[in-house]
Amino acid sequence: MSNRGGEKVDEIPRKVTPLNMLVREIVSELGISEKIVECEALLVWNDVVGPSLAKNAKPIRINNGILEIAVPSAVWRTQLSFMKTDIVRRMNCHVGGKIIRELRLINRQHN
């Protein structure tokens, strides 16, 4: 490589690291990998369960592998209780790991 004066300048060899690898490394060092995947699981809820179910069951949080879901009535609580195993399996498949162990259904009106 030449500078503006035409003199040859030695290039410094650099190791280029893709940004996604750097982010993964930082996230790992900070110890927040699991929390990020938990947040991703909350964000994909609607895609995993579909619009009808998502309208009546809202994810609240994930705590120690337990996904807490707000349901508006005992009827919805009963309906989801029959679907727990399938929902857990689909959520874990969607995020690519065994993040959720179980669902906890909570009767709570949501907006």
Does the pLDDT value for residue 106 go beyond 80?
yes
50 in a domain, yes or no?
A: yes
What's 59's domain CATH number? 3.30.300.180
Q: What is the pLDDT of residues 12-53, one digit of tens each?
A: 777 888 888 888 788 788 887 778 778 888 889 999 999 999
Contact 70, 80 (CB under 8 A): no
Domain total for the chain?
1
Give the contacts of 103 (CB within 8 A, at least 6 positions apart). Answer: 66, 67, 68, 69, 80, 84, 87, 88
88 in a domain, yes or no?
A: yes
The model scores a pTM over 0.75: no
10 in a domain, yes or no?
A: no
Least confident stretch, 3-12, 52-61, 76-85? 3-12
Confidence of residue 60 (pLDDT cuts 50, 70, 90): very high
As a whole number, mean pLDDT of residues 84-105 equals 91
8 in a domain, yes or no?
A: no
76 in a domain, yes or no?
A: yes
9 in a domain, yes or no?
A: no
7 in a domain, yes or no?
A: no
| Cα 25 to Cα 18: distance, rounded to the nearest angstrom | 11
